[in-house]
Structure 1
Amino acid sequence: MTETILQFAHDIITSPWIYLMVLGIALLDGFFPVVPSETLVITTGAFAASTGEPDALLLLSVAAIGAICGDHVSYWLGRRAGSRLKDGKAFRWARKEVDERGGLVLVVARYIPGGRTATTLTLGATGYPFRRFLLFDVFAGLSWAVYSVLVGYIGGVAFEEDPFKGLLLGLGIALTVAAVVEFIRYVRKKKAAVPRNEEEKLAA
């Protein structure tokens, strides 16, 4: 069963069409976050290391271009939606982060589930300067593409004779990083809540 799945995945991933697929899915993921672009890029990165196909640098390039273009679609959707987004929980979180950290949150949010789309929509809706958005987004898109391809590549190198295990290792690394990021956010949120609780007690 595993061999059949692996062969099917190999036939797709080693096809020249894989670059267009990565580009399209990375783009869609910018404003339709149910599309798993990171999983696809990690998978192709693992195959690039273990089989030599697809080309890792070309894969990185199309993933970054797709991600950046998808973010721009989301940004302009935010511009058009404007105030209609303000009641959403994700919007309120992103707005708070944007007010505190500016464009830097765009880079960080890319590694937080659901954070990327909420942030790009918010930046658009709040009229964040487009040139600054472009600068931060190019950096965010490139860093994400390098991270995703590299994670898959590390897995592929570690299990060069067994791409399926390499894929599992790559996905495991990605999930671990995501869990660490979420844990750090949780701890910081708890620490920030303590002073607020103290202020409320004093005010009472």
Structure 2
Amino acid sequence: MDGVVDFLHTAVTSPWFYLALFAVAALDGFFPVVPSESMVITAGVYAASGRPEPVLVVVLAALGAFTGDHVAYLIGRGSGGRLTRSLRPGTRRHAAFGWARRTMDERGGLILVVARYVPGGRTAVTMTMGVIRYPLRSFTPFAAIAAVSWAVYGTLLGYLGGVAFEDDPIKGVAVGLGLALAVTGVVEGVRFLRHRRARGGAAASGGEGAEAPETSGTPV
């Protein structure tokens, strides 16, 4: 355990850590198996002792997330033309695409901000917004809000754990990750209950069209 603590301390306090944090946060925007949130929380834990600088952690994590979201958007936009040409009117995929376009037009900014806190959801939403050609001038400011709020959130969770367990950073990281998992669980629980309620309402009214297409949660 002492070896793990020493390794983490050496890695997180290195000047190269800021570059690594930016790169991982950017990569996570379009390759969502990279643990960017865990890295931000760990940085926040050690920032409680002054190194790394908490402000720089927030700035680099936010810049990385902002960059990664735009890469995912551009990937979706680049593949959108081929996808839309292959959609046949009257098919399920065509209906899902139409639903996604209408939903993003109405609540695209809010969905983008909320999705940043859902593992995997951020990539699905940003790519879908690219596919449906959601205006970049509208996408960019909301992507900035999502990235900054996410970076502050992750750093703060870690910082609280670092303050609570100043002499045991491993416990601080565990507390930060536990809080993040709890928040994710609450978000997913609310989403599940809302989806279940919507399904129940649609069944009660007998309106099959009231339910959103099943493919709405992923890039279409």
The residue that corresponds to 2:12 in the other structure is 13
Of 174-183 and 190-199, deviating more is 190-199
Match for residue 187 of structure 1 among 182, 193, 200: 193
- Could you say if the C-alpha distance between residues 151 and 190 of structure 1 is closer, same or farther in structure 2, counting changes exceeding 3 Å? same
Structure 1 stretches lacking a partner, 5+ long? none
1:23 paired to 2:22: yes
Q: Which amino acid aligns with 1:176?
A: A
Q: Do residues 129 (structure 1) and 129 (structure 2) align?
A: no
Q: Is the 8 A contact 2:75 2:130 kept in 1?
A: yes
Counterpart in the other structure of 2:54: 56
Aligned runs of 1:29-178 on 2, under 5 Å? 29-49=28-48, 51-82=49-80, 97-178=103-184
**2 CA distance for matches of 1:55 and 1:170?**
17
Shift in alpha-carbon separation, 1:55–1:73, aligned structure 2, 3 A: same
Report deviation, 1:192. 0.7
Task: Indicate if the aligned counterparts of 1:26 and 1:37 stay in contact, CA closer than 8 A.
Answer: yes
CA distance in 2, matches of 1:53, 1:32: 28
Deviation string 1:9-60 (CA, Å, 9 cap, x unpaired) is 11111100000000000000000001110000001110111x3210000110
**Equivalences, count:** 199
Unaligned runs of at least 5 residues, structure 2? 85-92, 209-220
Secondary structure at the residue paired with 2:7?
A: helix
Q: CA RMSD in A?
A: 2.3
Shift of 1:98: 2.4
Q: Which runs of 4+ in 1 moved over 6 A?
A: 90-94
TM-score by length of 1: 0.91
What is the CA-CA distance between 1:115 and the residue it aligns to?
0.6
Percent of pairs with identical residues: 53
Q: TM-score, normalised by structure 2?
A: 0.84
Contact 2:105 2:134 in 1 (8 A): no
